[in-house]
Copies of this chain bind each other. A is one copy, B any other.
């Protein structure tokens, strides 16, 4: 046998590159430091730029790198833990939190939401748009779908003079008057659509964690929120228990 090894499946180059770069990031780079540009890195490793980029994409997805067009590739800080858990079953609102309500529209929600709300397929519901900030950066956008039945005090077609964000506050207050029985969450991977991508300062298709929350009132789903978190920078935390003394620096 001419070959000294059986070597069934050679590791792909981009995966090996990812490993090498991971180790380099751990040992030789500081957070915020800028890496050499892609063309130089590719040359240095003896691969095509596309292959090098495949490795960088992995690392960006894992939250190790941050790439900005026209600027360069920098070492990303550790992911920020954003709390998504049920601190207490409660309605969304602006109680000192880091959420910021942007405004509201009347829309026919996507099919998945229609199914959760059990409304008519072409029914128009209120939709409050909010943004979540963390450490000065937007980390999530949210669309809170509120069927008209859940907010009867808010007029269907508001006067144009009624500011969109004022109306959003009305809707949230209307929700708070309902007695919340419980909620329900699901997390899945998605890709940022054009609007979300722009708000999150990402390109279309960027990986996001989509958190879908159902709000129950009187045995029915009174509202549904769909929150879109940047998957590269966020770690979603669920505090299932009362806060425990942190023991890890």
Given the interface contacts A187-B238, A189-B232, A241-B89, does A248 sit within 8 Å of B61 by beta carbon? no
CB distance from A62 to the nearest CB of B (A): 6
Inter-subunit contact B187/A187 (CB<8 Å) = yes
A105-159 CB contacts (< 8 Å) to partner B? 115-116, 118
* Beta-carbon nearest neighbor of A118 in chain B: B247
Q: Which residues of B are found within 8 Å of A118, using beta-carbon distances?
A: 247-248
When each residue 38-65 of chain A gets 1 if its CB lies under 8 Å from chain B and 0 otherwise, what string results? 0000000000000000000010011100
Number of copies: 2
Near B by CB (< 8 A), chain A positions 72-117 give 79, 81, 85-86, 89, 115-116
Query: Across the interface, do A182 and B244 meet the contact criterion of CB distance under 8 Å?
Result: yes
**A interface size (C-beta, 8 A):** 53
Q: Determine the chain B residues whose CB is within 8 A of the CB of A186 once the complex forms.
A: 81, 235-238
Identify the A interface with B (CB < 8 A). Answer: 11-12, 14-15, 18, 58, 61-63, 79, 81, 85-86, 89, 115-116, 118, 181-191, 194, 204-205, 207, 209, 216, 219-221, 231-232, 234-242, 244-245, 247-249
